[in-house]
Structure 1
Amino acid sequence: MAGSIARTISKSIFAKPRPEGVGATVRRAIGGGHSYLDPFLMCDDFTVAPPAGFPDHPHRGFETVTYLLEGAIAHEDFAGNKGIIGPGDLQWMTAGKGIVHAEMPASPTPSRGIQLWLNLPADQKMIEPSYQDLKDKDIPRAQPEEGVDIKVIAGESHGVKSPVFTRTPSMMIDFSLLKGKKVRQEIPKEYRGFIYVIKGSGYFGETEHKGETAHVLFLDDNEGDHLNVEAREDDLRFVLFAGKPLNERIVQHGPFVMNADEQIFQAINDYNYCKNGFERAKNWRSSIADGVIRT
């Protein structure tokens, strides 16, 4: 395409497994400390099995995206929302001004998934909490050719658009390529992003940077408008994350992400005293926190 510039890979890292929550294991692609990639705050490839899990905990100021690969995860919050997601299902939760919830495994075998923390712009950090849930069968697919299967979780690929509303302009796309196949993905020039390789190996970007299982590859900020990928030696599965930077100050304290120190102090105070969005946290305890999932 005339005038088209391909993205390159600026660097790659291996996501080492580490303990998280109560007995869970995660591979952290980004996040922790100040290793943000605006607008992304954190991305984990997690594995959890009973009785481990993520019991009752709060959030404010961002969105959590849970995309399950294997097993089942139960969720419940202080507003009465509850349910179970299975393989391929998606939960896009906007914490907004405040939510307290639990996420616990609901399968006797280990459950594995990807959880992304996506920042909210300053003027939307205190909106009402909400959910966008999609079952695997309802996530749209693109198949530009045989041997290339694409799940469009958020954003657009090959003319197929996700129904997910992204308050922060972003894309999250799951690619599966058979050995020998190639794919080209359009990416808005202003977006920053990264790739997480779920399985196999492939060659990414104009410089054909090799990425293998559990590796994170970061897109160069060269204002390219597309990414080229080839599964030259193995079958390949990876997820592309890309989004428009908010260019706002990030102040994080655990599960609270705001724009100023005083807003963090307020969030802690609001949670401790059950006010300004956390009123329903008073005397609430999820029915799944003990690891006994009642379906």
Structure 2
Amino acid sequence: MLSRKVIKKIYADFENEGDGAVVRRGITKSDQELLDPFVSLVEFSVSPPGGFKDHPHRGFESVTYMLQGGIIHQDFNGNKGTIHEGDVQWMTAGRGIIHSEMPEEQVNKGLQLWINLPSSDKMMEPKNLDMSSSEIPRADEYGVEVKVIAGESMGVKSPFYTKTPVMFLDFTLDPRVQTHQTVPESWTAFAYIIEGDEGVFSSSDSSTVQAHNVVVFGTGDEVSVWNTSSSRSLRFLLIAGEPIGEPVVERGPFVMNSQAEIDMTIRDYRNAQNGFEMAKHWRSE
């Protein structure tokens, strides 16, 4: 096995999103080419009366993973639900969706990942799937616990099929514990550290990485992680995916392949057509 080396570290600093929301942005436009097929990663905190009110999307999938509290989501196709700590909402925006994401409790924290869709799937019908924490398979042995949201780890496989092939794993390592995760050699891979400041993310490196950093890995077929702390656990997401290899143009809530497609999407939304027909009259509760 060839262990992947760390090629870049990105600190996710605070940004004020308004409406009572604060985010840490781990993947920005400058990193999209390096992290294909991933477009965006934010760690968010939102409190009432703020929230993410009715807004459109097109051209990608989003994964919302709750760390604390709850988010009430609703879209114009009649999907509505609440995800709480440990739950996941996987939404395929496809050709168009309008939805809202509003806080349920006083303190609500989570992560949202945007995964690009290939051009052949950008205009597919939108879909929505909620996965409760109890439905997510997990494994726990030798001081390593993993929740397998997508992909496979420690002999456990997620039953969830993703349009763009990805791996989404939530690891917790006890103090002084190592883990080694196989990743397809051709895939892009990165980690995001949720808790703990003494994780080493390469067998050939000795430098530790603090919480709220994105760690981008180079080529190889294995990711090695060691929690060097003698007292604190290390919790991180390991995320990997098959690159699409197409141009990415992101403008606000839309992710397409060209500026012309972005312009067309804005016209479709404003004119309530080509997937946005419900924009004329739908409002969330």
TM-score normalised by the shorter chain: which range applies?
Answer: over 0.9
| Aligned residue in 2 for 1:35 | 31
Report what 1:46 is aligned to: 44
**Which residue identity is paired with 2:76?**
F
Partner of 2:235: 237
Q: Which runs of 5+ in 1 are unaligned?
A: 288-295
Q: What do residues 94-116 of structure 1 show as CA deviations (whole Å, max 9, x unaligned)?
A: 00000000001011x21000000
Aligned partner of 1:173 among 169, 173, 177: 169
Cα separation, partners in 2 of 1:111 and 1:175, compared to 1, 3 Å? same
1:292 corresponds in structure 2 to none
Q: Which residue of 2 aligns with 1:183?
A: 179
The match for 1:130 is: 127
Asked if 2 retains the 8 angstrom alpha-carbon contact of 1:24 and 1:49, the reply is: yes
Q: CA deviation at 1:21?
A: 4.8
Counting only pairs closer than 5 Å after superposition, residues 27-176 of structure 1 correspond to structure 2 as 27-31=24-28, 33-36=29-32, 37-107=35-105, 109-143=106-140, 145-176=141-172
CA distance in 2, matches of 1:268, 1:15: 29
Please name the residue that 2:192 is paired with: 196
1:207 match: secondary structure: coil
Give the counterpart of 1:19 among 13, 16, 19.
16
Aligned partner of 2:264: which letter? Q
Q: Which runs of 5+ in 2 are unaligned?
A: none
Higher mean alpha-carbon deviation, 270-279 vs 155-164, is at: 155-164
- Once the two structures are TM-superposed, the CA of residue 129 in structure 1 deviates from its matched residue by 0.3
In structure 2, the residue matched to 1:261 is 259
Specify the code of the residue in structure 2 equivalent to 1:248.
Answer: E
CA distance, structure 2, for counterparts of residue 166 and residue 229 of structure 1: 25
Matches of 1:275 and 1:247, distance apart in 2:
29
How far residue 23 of structure 1 moved from its aligned partner, in angstroms, is 2.2
1:63 deviates by: 0.5
- Between the two proteins, what is the percent identity of the paired residues? 49
* Structure 1 residues 227-269: Cα deviation after superposition (integer angstroms, max 9, x where no partner): 1111111310000111111000111111111112221111111
Instruction: Kindly indicate whether the alpha-carbon contact (under 8 Å) linking 1:77 and 1:99 is maintained by their aligned counterparts in 2.
Output: yes
User: How big is each residue's C-alpha offset from its partner over 1:73-99, in whole Å with a ceiling of 9 and x where there is no partner?
Assistant: 000111111110000000000000000
Q: Which residue of 1 aligns with 2:244?
A: 246
Letter paired with 2:154:
H
Provide the C-alpha distance between the structure 1 equivalents of 2:45 and 2:11, rounded to a whole number of angstroms: 17
User: Could you state the TM-score of these two structures normalised by the residue count of structure 2?
Assistant: 0.95
**2:79–2:128 CA contact under 8 A, matched in 1:** no
**Runs ≥4 in structure 1, deviation > 3 angstroms?**
none
Per the normalisation by structure 1, the TM-score is: 0.92
For residues 59 and 49 of structure 1, the distance between their equivalents in structure 2, rounded to whole angstroms, comes to 23
Return the match for 2:203 from 201, 206, 227. 206
- Counterpart position of 1:290: none
- Do the aligned partners of 1:9 and 1:207 also contact (CA within 8 Å) in 2? no
1:280-291 to structure 2, matched below 5 A, reads 280-287=278-285
Measure how far apart 1:133 and its partner are: 1.4
